[in-house]
Amino acid sequence: KTVFVLNGPNLNLLGTREPHIYGAQTLADVEQSCRDACERHGLALVFRQSNHEGELVDWIHEAGRLHAQGGLAALVLNAAAYTHTSVALLDAVKGTGVPLVELHVSNVHAREAFRHHSYLSAAARAVLCGFGVHGYVLAIDAIARW
């Protein structure tokens, strides 16, 4: 089965973006860690990042088609700022029925109030935040045991 890992806006800046919050690892480093984790579990990986909401919607639909064929292990989604704004991403998850792990590098609940609400959590099977970029590996290790 395949794990989809989708990353939203500004996550292409990981490594240089507010490193005191998001750490020093780049998105390429995160992708490599995800590849290693998937390989350990015999899972395939699709790993992408977009700054565009509609492109993320399209990719969730793509994951949904794979889900309908029985080929999706789970969708790990770090929707970044869209977490707090996007009904479209919520509807895409609900409309496709993909098993969702909502992920955040930082502990959003310890930050500004506008980060405390997530449109996605209501449709998520699991929510993981505050483990830094290691959260991606934790998510994949957990998905492998589902």
Instruction: Answer yes or no: are the C-beta atoms of 48 and 59 closer than 8 Å.
Output: yes
Six token digits for residue 112? 């500004």
Q: Of 2, 12, 85, 106, which one interacts with ligand DQA (CB under 6 A)? A: 106
Q: Of 25, 83, 86, 96, which one interacts with ligand DQA (CB under 6 A)? A: 83
- To the question of whether residue 20 is assigned a binding role by annotation, the answer is no
3-state class (DSSP) for residue 72: strand
Q: Of 77, 105, 139, 143, which one interacts with ligand DQA (CB under 6 A)? A: 105
In sequence order, what DSSP letters do the residues of 75-110 get, joined into one string?
A: EEEE-GGGGGT-HHHHHHHHHHT--EEEEESS-GGG
Q: Is 108 in the site for ligand DQA (CB under 6 A)?
A: yes
Least CB distance to ligand DQA at residue 42 (A)? 27
**Residues of this chain that bind ligand DQA (CB under 6 A):** 10, 78, 80-81, 83, 104-106, 108, 115
